[in-house]
Chain A
């Protein structure tokens, strides 16, 4: 294993250097929201609804208010003048219910914030929550999205009795013609169940109000400090220049912290109200109730093909469980699914109909992959169903239908343009590495012994490098400032807000190479809206591809200025800067950056028409998304006596474009696979038929433990993206997207001789055991 020790001439990009973030993380010296203590700190705790649907007949806060240590109790009427929890998406028929920070006269889901208690001690605040008496009048609720769409279902919002939150239809080509010409049409109902994002650090916020200059400082566990500042200013009615948002160390998000949550704004509101700093941190149990859930799809697929395996067209109906309110980007999720419906295949006829449905549940929103895993799971399951129907090998069927390498950039029927790729090559590499034909032989033999072995293949493409601004509500560009300090050391300020990605490491590698300086001379700062230029944030695998490009371009601009100073100091008109040194191309004289830097700040004289200081800022707008791809192969074995699935091998071959740090790419794949495998085998958020959440802690919500995750073999192909100068694509979601279809395909394959064609996730032992016992019929 190489370490971070380096020489100036050594290339950093492409090296598996260890994360520069880790020393503080593993020695407990990182500062999370929970670690922030301010003088006079007060603590907030939230009273939540135990009912999925109820009228609030009254709230008695007197006992709580009189409890020693309690400073205030706020209810819906105290905040009704504040703005709503925002939804930033627009669709033509989108219905956005007013989402107050605290419930007004009704509650809409179990966990709905009803009141907030503030005390000088956090335990007192938690105790006093129980002293708030809320009188509820429960009403009928509806939990399942397909139930909610039926006539006569209870209306989540009285003004929209059909419970339709939005629709979105998108079509390409001529799907009816494709279906008319087809020899075979396969159909399946495919569910992508609700998942709990389960970031290691729960959500939390600290807010501090300075009444003297009327400024508010907010520390929040967020992926988007700059956007949060803008949104929170809007909710609180405060001009945004009076608001400073800091994302300190953030322990994961997976999309769940790409929001403005009611509690974040409430904490700020309380700080302003009581004139004391306030801390609020979510408990793990409340995290299950009140942090967005991912996925929540019921999809109906129809795939049309010729009998030689040529895929002709796809019809999909997507039912997206919205929950009772939209969060920041909820309606966007199924529209992202639509963009990825054709997968890596070249058929041009697609018809997609999406309906978003209100239910009496917590909202769904972005969770690692956000819409893309659902689409990939769908198409990769359908390809297998088609292969079974036609009696074709699934590898051959895929290869027959892939977009060929000569077709890039490839315009899909969904209106996006795949940037670059070689899909057949990556599948061939995976097939070869895993020894596919050998495995098929083993499968034959094991079946004769009564063993249930399966081989699962999943190929995927995904949308990364979010993204061109027309695709995002608050800009899709990213920013970077690079400053050469007087000492010659380098400070990078990035507008992205990493929370576990290792971006301080990758950006240091990029800057070290681009500037030709020692990596240890570089510091990467982010997440503070007062010190960092405006940025967009971290989601959709955009840090390296978009933020990294802004960094490269800022450095390139800076290098011109370094050369201006170098020329001035060398009294030359022809200099070149490289590897930390400016060289006169005529005399060969040199001046190092360490000498140029102080002179650029302190003079005493400066080059004509040149500003003092070596600092440059770049805002970069990507011209397109980038589209990584890959092939994962899983070998599994089902125990017919227990229904348990054992993963015997997991091979991930990914192409995320140019690799900055292979160690971090592997880490992303490992983590992603663990989450995708979790969805395939274990995890599901369950609400019972009365709308109660029944998976409210890790005893009931089966997040995979280390022992449940197999060894993951990783490999790569490297197809540079033409979209950005680094050639990177993104790898944040890859593992999650590929793992769920790969695992499910392997188990369906293991049971295929029983006639099994599809099994919905999670593949619990009970479900599998029943299938085996009943000879394949569920």
Chain B
């Protein structure tokens, strides 16, 4: 499944770039994220809970950041698996200054397998869009009150 879109954030390009790579920010903002721990230079271990249609389950995953191009963008590679199947995502984030803030453009592909695919396929598109929206909503909220 292909995913693309953009979201305007009220931060400058550099702040945005840093926030989007800050494990503590991501841990708080990613829907269902239980923990995100740096395990290598560009690699993080992630535990997340995902619910889709009538199924839900914990995912053990890996997040890797590649093709860093400060402050314009980077590539995010996500892999996870759990009792309800697996997911694999590959996305390019591009940051462009816009109206005093930064537009975060994202474009990528997500693949799922196992039970998520067998019983959740029809909800996958809307669920991913909902999760992306929640992520940016939470991010906006978090960055507005950084001390929280």
Residue positions of A touching B, CB distance < 8 A: 50-52, 110, 129-130, 285, 288-289, 688, 690, 692-697, 699-700
Contacts and interface: CB of A to CB of B under 8 A. Distances in A.
B115 A694 contact: no
A103 B44 CA distance: 31
B83 interface: yes
A692 B115 contact: no
Contacts of B85: 50
B125 to A, nearest CB: 12
A317 B118 CA distance: 31
Contacts of B83: 129-130
A51 B115 contact: no
A110 B118 contact: yes
Contact of B119 (A50, A110, A697): A697
Contacts of B53: 699
Contacts of A110: 113-114, 117-118
Contacts of B46: none
A696 B115 contact: yes
Contacts of A130: 57, 82-83
B118 A694 contact: yes
Interface residues of B, number: 17
B119 A700 contact: yes
Given A50-B85, A130-B83, A700-B122, A694 B117 contact: yes
A692 B117 contact: yes
Contact of B113 (A285, A692, A695, A699): A692
B118 A285 contact: yes
Contacts of A696: 115, 117-119
A692 B112 contact: yes
For the complex of A and B, the 6 pairs showing the least CB-CB separation, nearest first, are: A696-B118, A50-B114, A692-B117, A130-B83, A694-B121, A50-B113
Interface string B93-126: 0000000000000000001111101110110000
Given A51-B86, A700-B121, 14 more contacts: A50-B81, A50-B114, A52-B113, A130-B57, A285-B119, A688-B121, A690-B111, A690-B113, A694-B118, A694-B122, A696-B117, A696-B118, A699-B122, A700-B118
16 contacts: A51-B86, A51-B113, A110-B113, A110-B117, A110-B118, A129-B83, A130-B57, A130-B83, A285-B115, A690-B113, A692-B114, A694-B117, A696-B118, A696-B119, A699-B119, A699-B122
Nearest to B57: A130
Contacts of B82: 130
A695 B122 CA distance: 9
A692 B57 CA distance: 19
Contacts of B111: 690
A289 B119 CA distance: 11
Nearest to B122: A700
B82 to A, nearest CB: 8
B119 A692 contact: no
Interface in B39-81: 53, 57, 81
A695 B121 CA distance: 8
B30 to A, nearest CB: 22
Contacts of A693: 117-118
Contacts of B117: 50, 110, 688, 692-694, 696
A52 B111 CA distance: 13
A51 B113 CA distance: 7
Contacts of B113: 50-52, 110, 690, 692
Nearest to B86: A50
A129 B114 CA distance: 14
